Amino acid sequence: MLKSFNKQKRNWHLLALLILITPFNGCSKETTDAGFIADFSHSFIDDNNVRFTNETEGEYWRMEWDFGNGITETTISKTEEITTYYPEAGDYEVTLQVTNTDDEVKSVSKVVKIAHTDFAVDFSTNINTQNPNYVHLQNTSIGDFDSFKWKFRNKIIEDENTTQAYFPYAGTYAVELVGTKDGETFTSKQNISIAANDSEYFSKLELVWEDNFDGNAVNTDNWTFETGSGGWGNNELQNYTAGNNATVQDGILTITAEKVNDNKVPGSYTSTRIITSGKQEFTYGRMEIRAKLPSGTGIWPAIWMLGANIGSAGWPACGEIDIMEYVGYQPNTVHATVHTSAGSGGDGSGSSKTLNTAEEEFHVYGVFWTEKEMVFYTDSPENVTHRYAPSNKTSDNWPFDKPQFFILNVAVGGNWGGAQGIDNSIFPQSMEVDYVRVYQEM
């Protein structure tokens, strides 16, 4: 009997110990879960505007809404009613996620059915079978909108219900139609596949700007004189003047480099540098300049372009297009070079070409610049000086989807032009320019 009593006593002790060490939270958790229920209701203001009302029960502090139409909202106001707009007919899954004071999360999802399309941006495409580089675009949007615009190939066409898009090269192109309504933006995108290049693309470009240097002075509606010395980043020795070294006569612009003294130091020479920055800037096209070049060791004429965003992007991130450069100690050799963040200065992408009458005769120096490549040439597109076409274009190697402006100048000395010294007996030396012309798609 005593043994039985001791055993029973020991069992009661064990039970008491288990009660003491067991956490007392099961009932509390059940009570919290039972009173914490995420829920909401909705009602239609009209066919496309829906009002949502939070009906969550229990203690909580944050609500996160996903309305299924790309709009989300987070709030801590339990009584706030939220209205959202569904422009297109369809079924939309709306989710409310609620967080309680213990950071527990519960959610509820419901489907809202929109029967009426109030506003939807859409368009159709039709490739011209006779001219398969042309695509007819038709705006098929539903509803009233304030404005819309087409976007493709760096072009923007506004408020035209139908338009013809031209894609000169084989490949896949993105076309976007953007509509605006009551300050909101709606977009539709499609990809267009073009099977072959347009062999007549070059000849289809039309003249959009030219300066034939008529009159008796540089046209300041097109050009600005850049002045001063200081080397211009290349340790050049000329001082650029405000027109003293440039003349216009009989349809020819003449930029003349002159010697001031024999010291061969900064300021020992004067010349001219003119730019079209802020006045004539272009993205893509066929740029042609007809010119006759100076001669002699130490001279360095150039016909080139710089990114219009150089003030914000800096060089070489803005991109530089050297249509023609010439250093006098290499007579009858013209150079074409591209400078980018991926390669600049001596690491720029360039090539040279022999041109035996560069100093004696006028020649056309051109670049055919598209979104695919740049082809530099002399006199005709068949006489290629250099081709630049990175297969994988990045912002580092192809900053050339933005406007560039022209520069015409004659430098003296410098890192390249003066690499073999300067012959002071050659001065004055002049570059003559017959015209500058730009052809683009119309």
Residues marked active site are found at 320, 325
What are residue 281's DSSP bridge partners? 405
Q: How far apart are CA 257 and CA 428, in angstroms?
A: 6
Q: What residue has token string 């029960």?
A: 57
Residues 306, 426: contact at Cβ < 8 Å? Answer: no
Contact 119, 139 (CB under 8 A): no
Vertex 214, ends 284 and 269: CA angle to 5°? Answer: 85
Are residues 211 and 279 in contact, defined by beta-carbon separation less than 8 angstroms? no
**Coil, strand or helix: which one is 136?**
strand
3-class secondary-structure state, position 212:
coil
CB atoms within 10 A of CB 329: 18
Residues forming beta bridges with residue 404, ordered by sequence position: 282, 307
Helix residue ranges per DSSP H, 70-210 = 201-204
Contact between 94 and 42 under an 8 Å Cβ cutoff? The reply is: yes
Vertex 252 angle, CA 426 and 236, to 5°: 40
Print burial letters for 291-327: b (CB count within 10 Å at least 16), e (below 16). Answer: bbbbbbbbbbbbbbbbbbebeebeebbbbbbbbbbbb
Task: Read off φ and ψ for residue 280, nearest 5 degrees.
Answer: -135, 105
* CB-based contact 265:237 (threshold 8 Å): yes
Work out whether strand 281-282 and strand 224-225 pair parallel, antiparallel, or are unpaired: unpaired
Q: How far is CA 52 from the centre of its chain?
A: 40
Sign (positive or negative) of CA dihedral 210, 288, 208, 157: negative
Helix (H) or strand (E) holding 337: strand 333-339
